[in-house]
Structure 1
Amino acid sequence: MKTKTEKYKSKRLGVAHRLAKDLDSVGMIDKWTMRELDVRALTPVKPLSPAKIVSIRRREKASQAVFASMLGVTVSLVSQWERGEKKPSGPSLKLLTLVAKNGLDWVA
């Protein structure tokens, strides 16, 4: 059973990655190779500047409150990101990266 949805750089890389995961599950690919494929196929996560976060939110025509609600974080945290007081990391950074790529409707 699939527990999470993965986003790929392209549809072809997605197909190749899913095939490799199936081969890995039966022991036909080693862990090192699978990690290499993860890096090459999955959407990369890069740090986002405060201005970029504001730009993403404004492009999506969302208030800080709506943006925060859609991302599952507090309005205060979005405000801190936009002022540069805190930097998004981990799952929040990944989610922001995907929203930048696919739009806010993607998380709705």
Structure 2
Amino acid sequence: MTERLKHIQSMAKRYNALGVVKDETVASIDAAVAARDIPAVRTMTGSEIREVRTRYNMSQAALAMTIGMSVESISKWERNESKPNKAALRIINLLDANGLKMFMA
């Protein structure tokens, strides 16, 4: 699918240069192609979430504040009583991959 999408992108740019395709359409296709390079959200078990949190010396309260969730939610995730939503998992995935420095900008 990615090759097909890149072909569509190329065609759209050619037609845009001829004035047949709008700039907004090309921008939309460019965004779709760029989104293909974003890795999928990786699910994590409670123990994996706890491991990431402890690796960076974060309390449950610190992790909760960092991702905009409650301490109770973090606790439930770590005990496998509930699962984080994909937005929270995306942030934990990024923390796991990049460390705390990504929050210091």
| Equivalent position of 1:12 in the other structure | none
| Equivalent position of 1:92 in the other structure | 88
Deviation digits for residues 11-62 of structure 1, max 9, x if unmatched? xxxxxxxxxxxx7x8233764x7535412x1132111111110000000101
Question: Structure 1 CA distance, aligned partners of 2:60 and 2:26?
Answer: 47
| Equivalent position of 1:14 in the other structure | none
Question: Structure 2 CA distance, aligned partners of 1:72 and 1:83?
Answer: 19
Question: Structure 2 CA distance, aligned partners of 1:28 and 1:73?
Answer: 37
Identical amino acids, percent of aligned pairs? 27
What does 1:1-108 correspond to in 2, within 5 Å?
26=23, 27-28=25-26, 31=29, 34-39=31-36, 41-108=37-104
Moved over 2 A (4+): 27-31, 33-37
Unpaired runs of 5+ in structure 2?
1-12, 14-21
Aligned AA for 1:53?
Answer: I
The TM-score, its normalising length taken from structure 1, stands at 0.65
Which of the two has higher C-alpha Rg?
2
